Amino acid sequence: MNSLGLMMFRSIVFSALLCCFVSVSVFASDQVTLLRQIESMTVGNSGLIFKARIDTGAVNTSLHAVDLHIVGGASDQMKQNVGKMIEFTTENEQGKKQRMQAEIVSTSKVKNALGIERRYMVKLGVGFPDNLHNVYVNLRDRSHMNYKLLIGRNFLKKGYIVDVAHNKTIGPVATLSIKQTGLLFDTRIDTGAGQNSLHAVNIHVENEDTDDITNNIGKIITFTTENEKGEKVEVSTKIRSTALIRNAQGTEARYTVRLNVGKPGEEYLVDVNLTDRTKMGYKLLIGRNWLQGHYVVDVNKES
């Protein structure tokens, strides 16, 4: 795409959206900018261009940062360092590095499938070189992640919607049904996730090969799932494949099954990986493989 085409893509406003979408009532009258799943963005005065993952599942924006140093010395408790300056090194996907400094404005607790991690938060200008927004950014080592800059909902609320589809809009949280369970789930819509993920415990595979789980593809798997209301159900189905899921703590191998997922009465078949989401607020997480071709995500849209 040439520079003129890219500029036109980022300059889509309400009038253009009326022409592109069947339902016009879901958009506010204010100007909005349409973002793709991956955008070229910069951070503050780093002088670096990042391939930024647009992630409606993340509350805050996150930047790769290593070699953290609290100017003047660090306190034992992270919260006691709020207000101090922190130095750190960031790096983009091309391996270009920059030493940066910013004031610690807060600390944040980030919850994932493996537990809770506390991070420093700084305020930085994030966005396109000609249009930066000052937002809170949490700092963490993203060395093993494909994208060193992750754009969260605190940035998207500045007037952006995310295009992973071409039809309907959906908010960051939605009530979805899984036909095979008969349950409704308060679901996190997460454009940062490639796949859908469902809470599953008491997993049992017939004649399971524990040495090489790929040998279990095609076998019957039985598991218990539960929604946010505490309603439980046991499900039996065939293992469709296995998935290697990467997160902040590393990688995890999971079984994948095919289930009917969607708004009640509008479910369609999609691959869903199974994992214990007991510690997570949402027992069903929807990724791009459900959204693609069906929905645009608007983080300002009410569920």
pLDDT of residue 248: 65
Q: Domain containing 286 — which CATH number?
A: 2.40.70.10
Is 265 found in the same domain as 246?
A: yes
Is 220 found in the same domain as 112?
A: no
**Residue 186: in which H helix or E strand, if any?**
strand 183-189
**Residue 5: in which H helix or E strand, if any?**
helix 3-10
Number of domains in the chain: 2
Q: Has residue 21 been placed in a domain? A: no
Is 189 found in the same domain as 111?
A: no
pLDDT of residue 164: 66
Tokens of 258: 């095919």
Is 197 found in the same domain as 151?
A: no
Q: Has residue 20 been placed in a domain? A: no
Q: Has residue 12 been placed in a domain? A: no
Is 241 found in the same domain as 153?
A: no
Q: Has residue 139 been placed in a domain? A: yes
pLDDT of residue 28: 39
Is 252 found in the same domain as 286?
A: yes
Q: How far apart are CA 215 and CA 218, in angstroms?
A: 8
Is 105 found in the same domain as 47?
A: yes
Domain containing 91: what range?
A: 32-163
Residue where a domain terminates, one of 163, 180, 208: 163
Is 78 found in the same domain as 194?
A: no
pLDDT of residue 216: 95
Tens digit of pLDDT per residue, the chain (303 long)? 454 444 444 444 333 433 433 333 333 335 688 888 889 999 998 999 999 999 998 999 999 999 999 999 998 889 999 999 999 999 999 999 999 999 999 998 877 666 788 899 999 999 999 899 999 999 999 998 889 999 999 999 999 988 765 457 889 999 999 999 999 999 999 998 889 999 999 999 999 999 999 999 999 999 999 999 999 999 999 999 999 887 666 788 999 999 999 999 889 899 999 999 999 999 999 999 898 877 888 888 776
Is 93 found in the same domain as 62?
A: yes
Residue where a domain terminates, one of 133, 163, 193: 163
Q: How far apart are CA 136 and CA 193, in angstroms?
A: 22
Asked if 255 and 272 count as a contact pair (C-beta separation under 8 A), the reply is no
Is 174 found in the same domain as 155?
A: no
For 160, residues 6+ apart whose C-beta sits below 8 A from its C-beta are 32, 33, 34, 35, 299
**Residue 295: in which H helix or E strand, if any?**
strand 295-297
114-140 burial, b if ≥16 CB within 10 A, otherwise e? eeeeebbbbebebbbeeebbebbbbbb
Q: Has residue 10 been placed in a domain? A: no
Q: How far apart are CA 40 and CA 170, in angstroms?
A: 24
pLDDT of residue 36: 84
Q: Has residue 17 been placed in a domain? A: no
Q: How far apart are CA 270 and CA 258, in angstroms?
A: 5
Asked if 49 and 130 count as a contact pair (C-beta separation under 8 A), the reply is no
Is 235 found in the same domain as 219?
A: yes
User: What is the DSSP annotation of 213-257?
Assistant: GGGGTTSEEEEEEE-TT--EEEEEEE--EEEEEEETTEEEEEEEE
- The residue behind tokens 């994932």 is 112
Q: Has residue 14 been placed in a domain? A: no
Is 217 found in the same domain as 284?
A: yes
Q: Has residue 302 been placed in a domain? A: no
pLDDT of residue 169: 84
Residue where a domain terminates, one of 134, 163, 192: 163
